[in-house]
Structure 1
Amino acid sequence: MALKKSSNKPVLQKTRFGWIVSGPINKRQSNLVYTHFNQTLDIQEQLARFWEPEESVPEKSLSKEEIACKSHFVENVKRANDSRFIVALPLKESIEKLGESYDQPEFKKHCRFYERI
């Protein structure tokens, strides 16, 4: 950053935002405040940047399950005449992967039954 100074006088300093003036001024008191702001813009450059396309994010490759889910959605989501959506729920082919979750609610139901007795 450039700095221009001399003794007992205001200092000019170049910043990222432009030149600023600071330092001592005349001893005379004044109720007036002077402010000046100047901005130079290259309109052609700004217009060119405005119309440039933004960087696109590359698409990640989908797994087999994600591809199947996407195709299921495209094939099975429809819109009814009353503007509601009709959706077929996807089901996993191998039901064995669900585990033994059926037994837990049955067990709780039997426990509640025996608590009443």
Structure 2
Amino acid sequence: MLAFNCTKAAADFFTIVRKGQQYTLIQQSPNNSIAEDIQQTDTLSGKNNFHWHWVLHCVSIKRKKYLLAMDYLSRYCLAFPAPKKGDDSAFLTSGAKISGACPRAG
């Protein structure tokens, strides 16, 4: 399972406002750190299930948005053009590409 821990910039990128109502795919984590998230997922699902934690950030380079996804443990980083603001399905499709793009370091 891929777990994306978003920075504020990434969370803002995936949040859209329509008619005064905010819509987002992102849920706030009950923990304050990624290390606590990893420990909690290991406790809840057992050590046999694999959870791949990524830190997701959104940056602007020459007026274009890019998403940076960095593996929490190895610091392996992928950069790719961001989809349209609030387009969750395009991001999740690219997330499937992330899981096949690099071997698991550990």
TM range (shorter): under 0.3
Q: Which has the higher contact order (CA 8 A, sep 6+)?
A: 2
Task: Give the TM-score, by structure 1 length.
Answer: 0.21
Task: Give the TM-score, by structure 2 length.
Answer: 0.23
Greater Rg, structure 1 or structure 2? 1
